[in-house]
Amino acid sequence: MKDGRRGLRRVRVGERIAAISALALLASTFMEWFEAELPSNSALILVNFFARGNAWQSLGAVPWLLLIVALVALGPVVLALRGSSWKPTIPVSAIVAVVGGLATLLVLFRMVFPPDYGAVDHISVVTNVLFGAWLALAAAVGVAYGGYRAMGDEGDSFESIAERLSRQGRVSRARG
């Protein structure tokens, strides 16, 4: 039991935020994101057209991308719990911040441009955004923020990472 607590102490606050947000992001893909219905003033109200869908049913490749983002965000926690001392050239927290930002943009794009459910007898179907999509947006923002906060906890910034990569590139070109 003590080893588990010691491992949890190695997990920084930003990494915890990103991990919890990643789990929420993954859970959101199984919740309903959209519903489609005919406008209430339509003459075809008797048709009773109504559909709902979660991310897996409605968005093709998007949930797979969100799954990858969640796994990337959980990576630093797994590394910390295992006591890994691996220090890649680009900090994992920076990667988490970037993929969290990209996931935020992806979810926001899908909310602004939801799936097209077409029309029924030339009457356009209205698509409403549901709680699952809003949770996904908040969770993606949480992943990005958690990664960014973990970068700060490590004393890194995007500028310092770029400078370090630039120096390494100059050194390797000088050797070659």
Q: Among all chains, which residue has been given the structure tokens 């994992």?
A: 92
> How big is the chain, counted in residues?
176
User: Is residue 71 within a helix (H) or strand (E), and if so which, with residue range?
Assistant: helix 62-81
Position 123 scores a pLDDT of: 67
What angle is formed at CA 116 by the lines to CA 28 and CA 138, rounded to 5 degrees?
Answer: 25
Specify the pLDDT at position 135.
98
Q: Which two tokens stand for residue 61?
A: 């490749």
Per-residue pLDDT of the chain (176 residues; tens, 9 = 90+): 455 555 566 788 999 999 999 999 999 999 999 888 766 655 544 444 556 788 998 888 999 999 999 999 999 999 888 888 888 888 999 999 999 999 999 999 999 998 876 666 666 777 889 999 999 999 999 999 999 999 998 888 899 888 888 888 776 666 75
Beta bridge pairs of residue 37: 50, 126
Task: Say which residue the tokens 């911040």 belong to.
Answer: 97
Predicted TM-score (pTM) of this structure: 0.82
Helix (H, G, I), strand (E, B) or coil at 172: helix
Per the structure, the count of domains in the chain is 1
* Domain containing residue 26: 2-175
Q: By C-alpha distance, which of 34, 63, 54, 11 is closest to 125? A: 34
